[in-house]
Chains A and B, each alone.
Chain A
Amino acid sequence: MGFWPVLKKNFRIMFNSKLSILILIFGPLFLMGIMGAALQNNELRDIQASVFSHEESIDYLLENDWYVDSYLDQLRQNSFIVRQVNSINECKDDVLNSRAHVCIEVVKKPPIKLPNTKFSQDINYETQAYVDFSKSRIVWGVIAKTQAVSESHSKVLVQNVLVQYKEKLEQPMNDLRGAYAELDNALVLLDNIDSNLNSAKEKQDQLNADSKSLNIAFGNLKSKVQTTVSTVNKIAGLDSSIYNSVNELNTAFQETDAKYQTLYSKLNMGDVLSSINNAQSFVSQVDGNLRTVKNKIDNVLEVWNGISQMNYADLAPLSFSYQSVTEDSQIKGTVSRPRLEFLDYLFPSFLMFFIIFVSLVFATVTTFKERSSKAHIRNVTSRTSAVSFILGNFISIFFILALQIAVILGVSVFFLRASILANSFPLVAYSFIGIVLFALLGIALGYIFNSQDGAVIASVSLSLLFLIFLPVITAPETLPLGFSKIVNVMPFVILESKLRLASIFNIFSVPSALEFLSLACSFLVSVILIFYFYYRRRRLEI
Chain B
Amino acid sequence: MDGVTKSFGRKKILDNVSFSVSPGEVVGFVGRSGAGKSVLIKILIGFYKPDKGYVLISSNSKDPIGYSMQDNALYDQLTIRQNLHYFSEIHKISRRIKKERVELLINRLNLKEYENVLLKNLSGGTKKRVDVACALLTDPEIVIFDEPFLGLDPMLTDALADFIIALGKSGKAVFVSSHQTDVLNKISTRVVMLKGGKLYAIQKSQMREVY
Question: What number of A-B contacts does a CB cutoff of 8 Å give?
Answer: 64
Q: Chain B interface secondary structure, helix, strand, loop or mixed?
A: loop
The answer for the CA separation of A511 and B73 in the assembled complex, in Å, is 46
Taking a contact as CB atoms under 8 Å apart, the answer to whether B90 and A383 are in contact is: yes
* Chain A: minimal CB distance from B141 (Å): 16
The answer to whether the Cβ of A377 comes within 8 Å of any Cβ in the partner chain is: yes
Chain A contacts of B47 at CB under 8 A?
A: 377, 380-381, 541-542
The answer to whether the Cβ of B22 comes within 8 Å of any Cβ in the partner chain is: no
**Which of B79-87, B158-166, B169-177, B178-186 is near enough to bind chain A?**
B79-87
The answer for the CA separation of A287 and B206 in the assembled complex, in Å, is 133
The answer to whether the Cβ of B62 comes within 8 Å of any Cβ in the partner chain is: yes
The answer for the CA separation of A182 and B72 in the assembled complex, in Å, is 101
The answer for the CA separation of A6 and B76 in the assembled complex, in Å, is 15
Of B74, B90, B92, most buried by chain A (CB within 10 Å of CB) is: B90
The answer to whether the Cβ of A486 comes within 8 Å of any Cβ in the partner chain is: no
The answer to whether the Cβ of B118 comes within 8 Å of any Cβ in the partner chain is: yes
The answer for the CA separation of A373 and B83 in the assembled complex, in Å, is 14
Chain B contacts of A452 at CB under 8 A?
A: none
Contact of A379 among B48, B71, B90 (CB under 8 A): B90
Given known A-B contacts A377-B47, A542-B47, A382 and B91 have beta carbons under 8 A apart: yes
Given known A-B contacts A8-B86, A381-B47, A16 and B77 have beta carbons under 8 A apart: yes
Name the residue of chain B whose CB is nearest to the CB of A373.
B75
Taking a contact as CB atoms under 8 Å apart, the answer to whether B86 and A9 are in contact is: yes
The answer to whether the Cβ of A384 comes within 8 Å of any Cβ in the partner chain is: yes
Chain A contacts of B69 at CB under 8 A?
A: 374, 377
* Chain B: minimal CB distance from A21 (Å): 13
The answer to whether the Cβ of B63 comes within 8 Å of any Cβ in the partner chain is: yes
Chain B contacts of A16 at CB under 8 A?
A: 77-79, 82, 118
Name the residue of chain A whose CB is nearest to the CB of B87.
A378
The answer for the CA separation of A383 and B75 in the assembled complex, in Å, is 18
Taking a contact as CB atoms under 8 Å apart, the answer to whether A382 and B87 are in contact is: yes
* Chain A: minimal CB distance from B74 (Å): 6
The answer for the CA separation of A380 and B48 in the assembled complex, in Å, is 10
* Chain A: minimal CB distance from B101 (Å): 15
Taking a contact as CB atoms under 8 Å apart, the answer to whether B90 and A374 are in contact is: no
Interface residues of B in 109-128 (CB under 8 A from A): 118
Chain A contacts of B78 at CB under 8 A?
A: 9, 12-13, 16
The answer for the CA separation of A9 and B86 in the assembled complex, in Å, is 6
The answer to whether the Cβ of A510 comes within 8 Å of any Cβ in the partner chain is: no
The answer to whether the Cβ of B151 comes within 8 Å of any Cβ in the partner chain is: no
The answer to whether the Cβ of A375 comes within 8 Å of any Cβ in the partner chain is: yes
Chain A contacts of B92 at CB under 8 A?
A: 383-384
Name the residue of chain B whose CB is nearest to the CB of A388.
B90
The answer to whether the Cβ of B134 comes within 8 Å of any Cβ in the partner chain is: yes
Q: Per-residue CB proximity of B61-72 to A under 8 Å, as 1/0?
A: 011000001011
The answer to whether the Cβ of A5 comes within 8 Å of any Cβ in the partner chain is: yes
Name the residue of chain B whose CB is nearest to the CB of A382.
B90
The answer to whether the Cβ of A17 comes within 8 Å of any Cβ in the partner chain is: yes
Name the residue of chain A whose CB is nearest to the CB of B83.
A375
* Chain B: minimal CB distance from A541 (Å): 7
Name the residue of chain B whose CB is nearest to the CB of A389.
B90
Name the residue of chain A whose CB is nearest to the CB of B79.
A16
Name the residue of chain A whose CB is nearest to the CB of B70.
A374
* Chain A: minimal CB distance from B193 (Å): 24
The answer for the CA separation of A373 and B77 in the assembled complex, in Å, is 11
The answer for the CA separation of A383 and B79 in the assembled complex, in Å, is 22
The answer for the CA separation of A384 and B91 in the assembled complex, in Å, is 7
The answer for the CA separation of A135 and B12 in the assembled complex, in Å, is 63
The answer for the CA separation of A12 and B92 in the assembled complex, in Å, is 19
The answer for the CA separation of A374 and B71 in the assembled complex, in Å, is 7
Interchain Cβ contacts under 8 Å between A and B, 27 examples = A5-B86, A5-B89, A6-B90, A8-B86, A8-B89, A9-B75, A9-B78, A9-B82, A9-B86, A12-B86, A13-B77, A16-B78, A16-B79, A374-B71, A374-B76, A375-B75, A377-B45, A377-B47, A377-B73, A380-B47, A381-B45, A383-B62, A383-B90, A383-B91, A384-B91, A541-B48, A542-B47
A: residues with CB less than 8 A from B are 4-6, 8-9, 12-13, 16-17, 373-384, 541-542
With A4-B89, A12-B82, A377-B69 given, name 15 new contacts (CB 8 A): A5-B90, A8-B86, A8-B89, A9-B75, A9-B86, A16-B82, A373-B75, A374-B73, A382-B91, A383-B63, A383-B90, A384-B91, A384-B92, A541-B48, A542-B49
